[in-house]
Amino acid sequence: MWGLGKKRSPLGKWLDRTGYNQEDLVRLSKVSRNTISKSCSDKDYIPSPAVMKKILKALREVDSSVRADQFWDL
């Protein structure tokens, strides 16, 4: 069972639903593994605008309707 007891942010929940994993996101976005992990687990973490842009660009390759306000409070 995936995700039992694991803290997840909206980004992490989206990744779980779509079947996209953190390693793919690290590779495509060229953002560090620690930053991606923190973005997927910490609900209060908001990445810098440059990092946010890289993450969104990678996610839009999977789903073009992804918006930043789905994952972070702007």
Per residue in 13-38, pLDDT (tens digit) is 999 888 888 999 999 999 999 999 99
Q: Are 41 and 9 in contact (CB under 8 A)?
A: yes
Please name which of 16, 31, 33, 28 lies closest in space to residue 59, comparing C-alpha atoms.
28
pTM assigned to the model: 0.86
The answer to whether 12 and 47 have CB atoms below 8 angstroms apart is no
The torsion of the CA quartet 8, 14, 20, 22, rounded to 10 degrees, works out to: -30
Q: How many helices (H) and strands (E) does the chain have?
A: 4, 0
Q: pLDDT tens across 44-61, in order?
A: 999 999 999 999 999 999
Model confidence at 7: pLDDT above 80: yes
